[in-house]
Structure 1
């Protein structure tokens, strides 16, 4: 970009391609006057502040999405991976939203099934996490988005597995992932996404979130009873709940919904524990705990329905991670 001075950038690909172009646009615009190091821009609102200070404007970005996954073509997020550390970090800024977004869901027909499953789990994760942390003024909208997206995923994923060329099912999953993108423009994701950033070397993003959300749901149980009933009813309607959700409350409700989410993951052949992942070890737990204490990722702790400070990470997050490693919900501590 620095050499060619393009009139615009056209990013054609999945979430990682689009996020890379968002970040490259930031560096091409601000690298010469603010900082040429990508680390400077991790966090919330830093790009907007730098653009105001310098009076510069970014190159218009046209995002052509080809993967039902992260919804990157719609959002203010750029996930950037440090391959040396095996850690993802985030730029969160309205300034990096693509100028124009395009997505023809039919192009996803040729996606590998594993990528489709990952995208379906990401759609659930985006909408579920935003719904769980929604403030009162956004609760109704977050609920409607979550109900629609999770219903689409749980109803149509099995059809896609049976027939990857099913265009109705492709559209359903594409719509669900776009709703996920819409959700994270209204509110923030939290624990499962934060942990997923430390698993980048062994598992794709949506699948990592899909593994972690049931375990974080149990930790959040006191704060998300209404959300658990809404989501639990969806999973129950699709045959994944083994108990009557309406009859439960407290931790028992959270455990039932968590088991239903795990049942859905099993139905699409997705892993349900960290120990299911090839290469998972103690180093990943240590990395996730360290990342949770990083000020550049503090927004994820604040977004939790039960907020956590960096000083509380070892006390409360480590049991969640060890629970997700083994599948033993009993070790999750309540706050």
Structure 2
């Protein structure tokens, strides 16, 4: 079984026949909508050429005999709270019995959150954390509207997962709704939509997929799902490391595009098995200067060195992938602990440089010490404590300044010596 076949087998195991994906599947949306209700709302994000895809969706829905009762503009990047509020109001007015979201992670996440607010009321702050939507649904006896989530970018896996990332753009801080209740009932992904994605967006999304897999793998040590995470990691990370540089050389490479779609979908599988941790936690405080995938890619080498003594098995797997791709030259077999972590981090840096990603915070336009202060403060917020708990070396709020502080200081300049291991 080659890597592509292995990835498809893992996705079948993950979602079964509920997930419709591949090249040219967008026109199936009407049939799927008709199986769930009679009044549909379409929430779609903006990107070049979106109008043609929206027409395909509208035609498919009409042919299936389903009424399209409203078309709503999706969310801006990072799903600002203001967009969630606006979408909530428009959904309430339209009163659909099926939702179709069409966009990247921000539009899909905003749709998830808006439907929660439409059905359960309150403010989004009421649902940040783990399982609070499910609890409110049980207490109220209500249910959320069926949601067909159509992904347009190989990135977040939002169409497959229980996460809704929402940002307060005034403070520059992102927070999470984490709840099985918001998982879209029918995910879709037409891979051909990604063929015209610009290089920067493509790379951001692919590295977000790697971050999902790497962080969950680190946190899976000693857990029942560790062997499954090894399997996902070997397929997903290898697909990105091998094929992302090919897209840089040839953006229309259909095989490479499929590889990234499969890999980032596997990232979605990963974060439904376990949770992300350090890289994602810090990325939530960098939303005003970096895209999400770029922030995670920048931070994960530094967390790799910090976690290294506890994650030697994962580091050998990841290191071998980067070594086979030519990004690590030294022999990893005799390395252990921090020394192994530094070698893998250097491989991650080499890969980032090959795709024109920054490797230090000082190289990012707009970065200031205030971003580190914000990240340290956010890490102590109880609403984000799941990220601390998911770490292979769990940190308490009292340990943040002593251990996370040096990680972020190291990320400023690239000096790995600053990182202090527990």
TM-score range, shorter chain: over 0.9
The equivalent of 2:78 in structure 1 is none
Distance apart, 1:144 and its partner CA = 0.6
Q: Which residue of 2 aligns with 1:230?
A: 317
The 1-side partners of 2:298 and 2:406 are apart by 15
Matched, 1:180 2:267: yes
Please tell me whether residue 139 in structure 1 is matched to residue 229 in structure 2: no
Pick from 167, 173, 185 the counterpart of residue 99 of structure 1. 185
**2:213 equivalent to 1:123:** no
Secondary structure, aligned partner of 1:247? coil
Q: Counterpart in 2 of 1:21?
A: 111
> Match for residue 275 of structure 1?
362
Gap regions ≥5 residues in structure 1: none
* Runs of 4+ deviating beyond 3 Å: none
Render the CA deviation track for 1:105-131: whole Å, top value 9, x for unaligned.
111011111000001111110001001
Does the CA-based 8 Å contact 2:210-2:236 persist in structure 1? yes
Shift of 1:136: 3.0
1:108 is aligned to 194
CA distance in 2, matches of 1:275, 1:182: 33
Note the alpha carbon deviations across 1:19-71, whole angstroms, 9 max, x for none: 0000000000001xxx2x11110000000000000001111111000000100
Q: Which runs of 5+ in 2 are unaligned?
A: 1-90
Alignment length (residue pairs): 331
Alpha-carbon distance in structure 2 between the residues aligned to 1:147 and 1:221: 18
Paired residues for 1:61-80 under 5 Å: 61-80=147-166
Tell me the C-alpha RMSD between the 2 structures: 0.7
Indicate the SS of the match to 2:93: coil
Matched, 1:319 2:319: no
| Match 2:305 to one of 208, 218, 223 | 218
Mapped pair 1:40 → 2:126: yes
Distance 2:105 2:227 in 1: 28
TM-score in terms of structure 2 length:
0.78
1:3 Cα deviation after fit: 1.2
Q: How many Å separate the matches in 1 of 2:110 and 2:207?
A: 22
Q: Would the aligned equivalents of 1:242 and 1:256 in 2 still touch at CA under 8 Å?
A: no
Q: Aligned match of 2:172 in 50, 61, 86?
A: 86
1:242 Cα deviation after fit: 2.9
Per the alignment, residue 284 of structure 1 pairs with: 371
Structure-2 separation of matches of 1:312 and 1:250 = 21
